[in-house]
Structure 1
Amino acid sequence: MNAKSLKRWIKHQRRNNRGRLNRLLTRLLGTTEPRRRPLVGDTRRVLVVRLNKRLGNILFLTPMLRTLAASLPAATIDVVIQDARQKPLLETLPGIGRVWVHEKSFGATLKLLRQLRARRYDLAIDPSGNSASNRLALALSKARQRMGFATANQWVPLSHAASRPGSRHQAKQAVELLESGVTETEWQRFNTLAVFPGAEAERSAQQHWDRAFRELTSPSPVVAFFTQATGNKQLDDDWWADFLEQVAEKLPEAHLLQICPPGAPTPTSMASVCIAELDVLAATLSRADAFVAADSGPMHLAAAAGVPVAGLFKATNPAAYAPLGPGCVSLAGETLTPEHTVEAVRGMLSKQPNRGAA
């Protein structure tokens, strides 16, 4: 057996061992059936666990966080995540107390665990149902009540458990977890993503906007776009070239703004911005009149910022990952063409007064 085969065999054995341990713990302790009951009356300290670095997955928390804040106004809601860059996006949401960031080292993990346990949370929530890290944090949180999804692999003993909801969208599932796992609470439901950049982020965004459009002298609609995506979600250069040609032909009054990844070279043929701070990027996107992107973090960030988004779905399912925001549309299959996309943008611009004038 060569080194590559040995590595594959070890990985396979680890996966099998984890599976066996998971099944054993589920039989002994787990929650495989729904448990719907009221919250303890003095539920005031809530922890939401989402140990994932993908921007979209963190933004998918925002409808549930807003639902919690509106429905439990006396509660303080803390969140634990993995990427410090995403922290400003959650800190300004209503009802949010502290956003903890999990650093991947043994010492940092122990320190964070001690801090979380010291808070003595009344309720801890795993909104995803498919993360071993989330489950472990939930089990170790020392919360009086624990909420999550009841599945054949749910080895955490939960006080409140819901079966997998009918909605396939990741953000809506988290809201449905609250409704299905708790009785005697009237949930004020939110179904769209949302972020609320602070004053400093807004000032910085205005500076980026002014630099990008320093030569724009008359009010004009601004169509922002982002060409990048991971793996086979990305559309090729020819698709984007055709899209830009059609915008120039069919929407000659519109100004284009290209959103570039931080550190990438900026194009000289049109206005562009490269912004690393996510709250500043959200505030900048909010000034646009429409946004076009493949399924990606910036697509969801634009929807959360309140921009009508044309989401382009080449590989992923819009039923699970559509941009959730006012005026957003998803294009897939036969509609995933530059022609349909430009028509979608035209419809967006026709339904709103110009918000993106420099």
Structure 2
Amino acid sequence: MKVSKRINKIRMRIMHQLTKNIGNSQKETMLSPGEKPTINRVLISRPNHRLGNQLLLTPLVQEVINTFPNCKIDLFVKGGVANLVFQNYEHVDTIIQLPRKPFNELIKYIKCWFKLKKYRYDLVINGDKNSSSGRLSTQIVNAPYKVFGETDEELEKMFDDYDHIAKYPVYHLRKYLNLLGSSESKNPIPTINIKLSDDEISKGKATLKEVVKNDKPTICIYTNATGDKIYDEDWWAIFYNRLKSDFPNYNIMELLPIENISKINFKAPNYYSKDVREMCGLLANTAIFIAPDNGVMHLASAAQIPVVGFFKVTKLEKYQPYGNKSIAFNTNETNLNDWLKGISNILG
């Protein structure tokens, strides 16, 4: 194991011990029935640098916007990817970015924590109930209303999708506001959304046509993943050949990872970009996206298209794509025919 990983594991254990008893959602005043609290400035804490986790935060941000349309939202995150994810969110005002490697940029790391004291917030929300840094930041911020997001057995029983990492923060917020006396929202949970502009979608359409060189609808696959989530070349070869035979009226293209590797040996037209929003603009013009569980799978969901996610080690209930006819499969319990039937149902 690399030294940096060992240090990070030690840091996480220390943070967990320091914050394990933090986590009681707080409220200072009760409201009249049907009344909403006056919320003008909100802090949402999600100090994680991964693209997927920042994308999975967008439903909570949208829920806050829907509930308090005149508010300004600050984000407490790690790394710079949140700038790209929330670029077109007008309500997002300030993004406080912890460095990805705090021990290499210790002064900056400490300054970011002090920034949390710069403003008085009306509401602060911890975006991940399992985050020690999230609980600690929620604790130290000045705000009358605090949602730590501790596990709620009542919500677990009420909602089959409570375990989903993008959804339970929304359920926590709704219950918290309801306990204050505000009316409870019955709206569907917002989907993951990067809010592409019309120009980004238009450019993506032109780029897609350059890749596939025709006007047929396109199935996009992404064959890479990390660690045990990877499916090998033989698995992908069988799946790719069935896609070609079962869906002859569709292009099949591959989105490539930064490592420029392909589990189908570059047999399909392919595309790669370092620009997250540029990739998303292209994906928005495809008919369906198919991938194992990874951040790019969530990026495709953020393009508001149907996504098929394959899971074999991570919890499907926690990370599966949802909305826009998306589906997920535990590949330990399903087979090739199940997957192709699901894809066929989506494509109609």
- What TM-score range do you get, normalising by the shorter chain? 0.7 to 0.9
Aligned twin of 2:166: 171
Q: How does 1:49-88 map to 2 (within 5 A)?
A: 49-88=45-84
1:276 to 274, 277, 284: 274
Identify if the C-alpha distance between structure 1 residues 101 and 190 changes in structure 2 by more than 3 Å, giving closer, same or farther: same
Q: How does 1:1-358 map to 2 (within 5 A)?
A: 21-22=18-19, 26=21, 30-31=22-23, 38=30, 41-93=37-89, 95-103=91-99, 104=102, 105-150=105-150, 165-166=155-156, 167-183=162-178, 184-186=181-183, 187=185, 188-198=187-197, 201-202=200-201, 204-213=203-212, 215-216=213-214, 219-264=215-260, 269-333=267-331, 336-350=334-348
Q: Secondary structure in 1 aligned to 2:296?
A: helix
Contact map agreement 1:92 1:197 (CA 8 A) in 2: yes
Identify if the C-alpha distance between structure 1 residues 93 and 264 changes in structure 2 by more than 3 Å, giving closer, same or farther: same
Letter in 1 for 2:229: K
TM-score normalised by structure 2 residue count: 0.82
Q: Secondary structure in 2 aligned to 1:281?
A: helix
Query: Structure 1, residues 87-125: CA drift from partner, whole Å, max 9, x if none?
Result: 221231353223332223222123323433223222111
Q: What is the root-mean-square deviation of aligned Cα atoms in Å?
A: 3.1
Identify if the C-alpha distance between structure 1 residues 90 and 209 changes in structure 2 by more than 3 Å, giving closer, same or farther: same
Aligned length: 325
* Runs of at least 5 residues in structure 2 that lack an aligned partner in the other structure: 1-5, 157-161
Identify if the C-alpha distance between structure 1 residues 11 and 62 changes in structure 2 by more than 3 Å, giving closer, same or farther: closer
Contact map agreement 1:295 1:311 (CA 8 A) in 2: yes
Contact map agreement 1:168 1:319 (CA 8 A) in 2: yes
Letter in 2 for 1:120: R
Letter in 1 for 2:167: K
Identity of aligned residues (%): 23
Deviation at 1:146, TM superposition (A): 2.1
Rounded Cα–Cα distance in structure 2 between residues aligned with 1:283 and 1:12 = 36
Query: Structure 1, residues 320-344: CA drift from partner, whole Å, max 9, x if none?
Result: 1110121111111466433332222
Rounded Cα–Cα distance in structure 1 between residues aligned with 2:311 and 2:217 = 25
Q: Secondary structure in 2 aligned to 1:46?
A: strand
Contact map agreement 1:327 1:348 (CA 8 A) in 2: yes
TM-score normalised by structure 1 residue count: 0.80
